[in-house]
């Protein structure tokens, strides 16, 4: 006899064998004991969770000759013939092979005839999502009002592909993924009966790798038993092509620290050894997902079904990064996983992708930047005391007219030039109101111990001339006010800033430490320098 794989051998034969689908099983049991059987069922759910098996069990239960409660007996003529797939009244149709409308028409013809001896004629259509649209539509009438002896059971992994008109005519049962622990429990039962030697840790690995599907778990177990009589964790890893967990955690560490040299060295070593880089990428994604979950959730142990120890290890890794960085890393890795799937040489794709992740470490989250900014305002340390005091002033200066920059060079003996200017205007106002008005239009360009340089806009040369004529009056007042022999020098300023002066401002602004810091933090560049004056002018114009 050819060998029957475990997944087939251990196909559930009664509702009690069906694990992980309590809700569905209870519904069926109640329906059977109360006799509320509908004429069309649809079973949906991921692979290997028991859809086809349930369909067969249901068929058996319905046709069982000596059913006491809701469980099929498994021994009567009917049950046996269904188990062997030889029943005349339970027809299992492969929906993926009989997709055409013709197949459905044939079925409609056959539906009319009464069952050949059993209670019901049951049609099980597996992979029903593959039927063509016409086939589905041809089925509608029959499905809505079939003869009393007919029951349809559809099974599919993709209920989305089934037309809503079909869905609304069926009782829909969704099957759920089986939890890791349930799979493990069932595997334990099987290895006891089959007398398979397997370590607990290896069993755990199989249950995890099965990813919610019992059939996957049994296929893996089958493979493992064929490979060795006494299955250990290492052998299983070897067999499944899974990389050792240590490698993944080392790799994750180097990625998290942004140590690109070590990362590349590890990849080189792995390639030299002939490891499956695609699998490694997949595991990396999973690992980082776990780190992210551990980072944000306190109940990570439950969510991941991890032990305290494992979760603790992940927490250590997670402590150095923030969640924004982790999200970025994960996004990058997920993209990489897709890329590497199609790559001719996975190594290059993997390495290029991991190089990309190295930038993430250098990134700072917006929240952190705000915190940093807030800190630097409270306790000045980074840009140095001088610039701190000047900090707010500098920003203003950047925006004000170009002429102010020499303020920094003021000597202590010279009175503040703004103050001086105010006093000058006040004094002058009492003496010569007209001259004061003219002088008000001027701006201070420079003030030293020997001279006061003021400027008029180009269009005001008339005012400049009249002030120049009266310069002696002003100089006397200045002498009184400042105790210096100040000479008045009058310039005419260009009406509009030339390109050269704008460049100069730019240069000046760029050299300011706070501007530099801002550009560094935000990774920005200087686009435009605008003076406050211009702005207010334009506002007035509006």
State the residues that interact with other proteins by CB under 8 A.
1-3, 5, 7-8, 46-48, 85, 94-97, 99, 126-127, 129-130, 157, 213, 215-216, 219, 222-223, 225-228, 238-241, 260-261, 264-265, 268, 271-276, 278, 339, 341-349, 351-352, 355-356, 358-359
Those residues with Cβ within 8 angstroms of residue 19's Cβ, 6 or more apart along the chain or in another chain: 12, 50, 178, 182, 183, 185, 186, 214
In 375-532, beta strands by DSSP E: 443-447, 451-457, 487-493
Alpha-carbon gap, residue 333 to 295, rounded angstroms: 18
**Between 3 and 378, whose beta carbon lies closer to other proteins?**
3
Helix (H) or strand (E) holding 187: helix 180-194
Alpha-carbon gap, residue 276 to 487, rounded angstroms: 85
Write down the least CB distance from residue 353 to other proteins, Å.
Answer: 9
* Four-residue CA torsion sign, 447, 453, 454, 455: negative
Alpha-carbon gap, residue 408 to 293, rounded angstroms: 54
- Output phi, psi for 348, to 5 deg: -65, -45
450: left (phi over 0), alpha (psi -120 to 50) or beta: alpha
**Between 352 and 526, whose beta carbon lies closer to other proteins?**
352
Write down the least CB distance from residue 292 to other proteins, Å.
Answer: 23
**Between 157 and 482, whose beta carbon lies closer to other proteins?**
157
Write down the least CB distance from residue 55 to other proteins, Å.
Answer: 13
**Between 271 and 376, whose beta carbon lies closer to other proteins?**
271
**Between 347 and 399, whose beta carbon lies closer to other proteins?**
347
> Percentage helix, strand, coil, to 5, in the chain?
60, 10, 30
Write down the least CB distance from residue 38 to other proteins, Å.
Answer: 25
Write down the least CB distance from residue 50 to other proteins, Å.
Answer: 12
Count of alpha carbons within 13 angstroms of residue 329, beta-carbon side: 30
**Between 73 and 130, whose beta carbon lies closer to other proteins?**
130
**Between 85 and 495, whose beta carbon lies closer to other proteins?**
85
Write down the least CB distance from residue 229 to other proteins, Å.
Answer: 9
**Between 118 and 127, whose beta carbon lies closer to other proteins?**
127
Write down the least CB distance from residue 177 to other proteins, Å.
Answer: 12
- Contact of 132 with 101, CB cutoff 8 Å: yes
* Closest to 248 measured CA to CA, from 202, 293, 280, 210: 280
Write down the least CB distance from residue 211 to other proteins, Å.
Answer: 9
**Between 281 and 390, whose beta carbon lies closer to other proteins?**
281
Write down the least CB distance from residue 275 to other proteins, Å.
Answer: 7
Cα end-to-end distance, the chain, whole Å: 95
In the three-class reduction of DSSP (H, G, I as helix; E, B as strand; rest coil), residue 357 is classed as: helix
CA of 446: how far to CAs of 59, 236, 442, 449, in Å? 102, 84, 12, 10
């Amino acid at each position: 006899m050819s060998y029957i794989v475990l997944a087939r051998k251990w196909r559930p034969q009664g509702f009690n064998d069906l694990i992980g689908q309590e809700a569905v099983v209870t519904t069926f049991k109640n329906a059977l004991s109360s006799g509320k059987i509908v004429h069309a069922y649809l079973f949906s759910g991921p692979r290997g969770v028991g859809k086809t098996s349930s369909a067969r069990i249901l068929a058996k239960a319905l046709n069982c000759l000596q059913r006491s409660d809701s469980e099929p007996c498994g021994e009567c003529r009917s049950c046996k013939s269904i188990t062997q797939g030889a029943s005349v009244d339970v027809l299992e149709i492969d929906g993926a092979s009989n997709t055409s409308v013709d197949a459905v028409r044939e079925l409609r013809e056959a539906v009319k005839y009464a069952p050949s001896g059993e209670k019901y004629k049951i049609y099980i259509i597996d992979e029903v999502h593959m039927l063509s649209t016409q086939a589905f539509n041809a089925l509608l009438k029959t499905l809505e009002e079939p003869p009393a002896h007919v029951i349809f059971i559809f099974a599919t992994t993709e209920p989305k592909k089934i037309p809503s008109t079909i869905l609304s005519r069926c009782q829909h049962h969704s099957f759920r993924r089986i939890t890791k622990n349930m799979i493990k429990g069932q595997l334990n039962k099987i290895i006891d009966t089959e007398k398979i030697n397997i370590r607990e840790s290896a069993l755990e690995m199989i249950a995890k790798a099965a990813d919610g599907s019992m059939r996957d778990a049994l296929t893996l177990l089958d493979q493992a038993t064929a490979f060795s009589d006494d299955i250990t964790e290492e052998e299983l890893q070897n067999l499944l092509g899974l990389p050792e967990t240590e490698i993944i955690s080392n790799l994750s560490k180097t990625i998290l620290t942004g140590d690109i040299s070590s990362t590349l060295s590890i990849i080189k070593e792995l390639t030299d050894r002939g490891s499956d880089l695609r699998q490694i990428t997949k595991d990396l994604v999973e690992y980082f997902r776990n780190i992210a979950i551990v980072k944000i959730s306190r109940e990570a142990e439950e969510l991941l079904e991890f032990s305290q120890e494992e979760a603790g290890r992940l927490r250590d890794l997670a402590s150095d990064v923030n969640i924004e960085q982790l999200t970025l890393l994960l996004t990058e890795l997920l993209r990489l996983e897709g890329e590497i799937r199609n790559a001719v040489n996975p190594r290059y794709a993997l390495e290029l992708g991991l190089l990309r992740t190295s930038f993430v470490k250098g990134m700072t989250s917006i929240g952190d930047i705000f915190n940093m900014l807030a800190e630097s305002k409270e306790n000045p340390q980074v840009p140095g005391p001088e610039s701190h005091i000047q900090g707010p002033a500098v920003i203003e200066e950047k925006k004000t007219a170009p002429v102010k920059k020499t303020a920094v060079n003021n000597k202590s003996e010279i009175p503040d030039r703004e103050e001086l200017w105010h006093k000058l205007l006040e004094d002058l106002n009492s003496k010569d109101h007209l001259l004061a008005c003219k002088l008000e239009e001027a701006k201070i360009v420079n003030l030293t111990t020997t001279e006061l340089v003021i400027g008029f806009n180009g269009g005001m040369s008339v005012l400049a001339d009249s002030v120049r004529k009266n310069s002696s009056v002003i100089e006397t007042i200045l002498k009184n006010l400042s105790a210096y022999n100040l000479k008045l020098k009058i310039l005419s300023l260009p009406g509009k800033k030339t390109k050269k002066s704008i460049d100069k401002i730019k240069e000046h602004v760029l050299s300011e430490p706070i501007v530099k810091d801002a550009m560094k933090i935000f990774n920005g560049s200087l686009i435009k320098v605008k003076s406050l004056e211009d702005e207010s002018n334009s506002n007035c114009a509006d």
